[in-house]
Amino acid sequence: MNFFLKISHAIDALTEWAGGIANIIVLITIAIGFYNVFVRYIGRFIGVQLSSNVYIELQWYLYSMIFFLGFAYILKHGVNVRVDFLYANWSEKTQAWIDLIGTVLVLIPFCIIGIYATYGPVLTSWGRLPNGNWGTWEMSPDPNGLPRAPIKTMIIVAFVLLLLQSISQIIKYIAILTGHKEVVEEIKADTEEFVS
């Protein structure tokens, strides 16, 4: 079990890294949003167009990336939405069983279906043609817009990160069920760290 717990810790470290990137992107998104509003009003005041679709779309892309990088982070810290008026009163092993079953039967298939369903459209966005050759990548239809392929690729990245964190969570649930009390404390610490 210790080998699998090391794998779980490595996945957790990757998830923490992605969550840290998402936190930085929040600040960048706010700065770009402030810039967009500021130059739009200044431009109206002086009669010159200072804003651009590049900044508006960049703000939208960054906002999306916060969620894409945050899904796994939220799962790791156990702050995903759940109806827990019964769950909260159950024993740690019962909670681990419920979480294990839900992760195996719902979350992992959801991630796999998400990766499968988005793989083709993402490749098409990068320019893969129906005949297998490569053309130009998908661009925004708006003037001065950004390419769409990079942000669409983040959908797959989000599903892969969520899938990896699901595997990490399964390892933790099995560890709890096999009597590894330290894992219970790690999970509690993760949740308390996020809430505080």
Q: Which pLDDT value is given to residue 78?
A: 84
Q: Which pLDDT value is given to residue 186?
A: 79
Q: Which pLDDT value is given to residue 184?
A: 75
Q: Which domain holds residue 123?
A: 2-195
Give the total number of structural domains in the chain: 1
Residue with structure tokens 């083709």? 120
For residue range 138-154, what is the model confidence (pLDDT) as tens digits?
Answer: 888 888 889 999 999 99
CA distance 121 to 17: 27
> How many Cβ atoms sit within 10 Å of the Cβ of residue 116?
11
- Per DSSP, which regions of 137-182 are E strands? none
pTM for the full predicted model: 0.88
**Could you tell me if 14 and 164 are in contact, meaning their C-beta atoms sit under 8 angstroms apart?**
yes
CA distance 55 to 30: 12
For residue range 9-55, what is the model confidence (pLDDT) as tens digits?
Answer: 999 999 999 999 999 999 999 999 999 889 888 888 888 777 788 88
For residue range 68-92, what is the model confidence (pLDDT) as tens digits?
Answer: 999 999 999 888 777 677 877 888 8
CA distance 103 to 170: 7
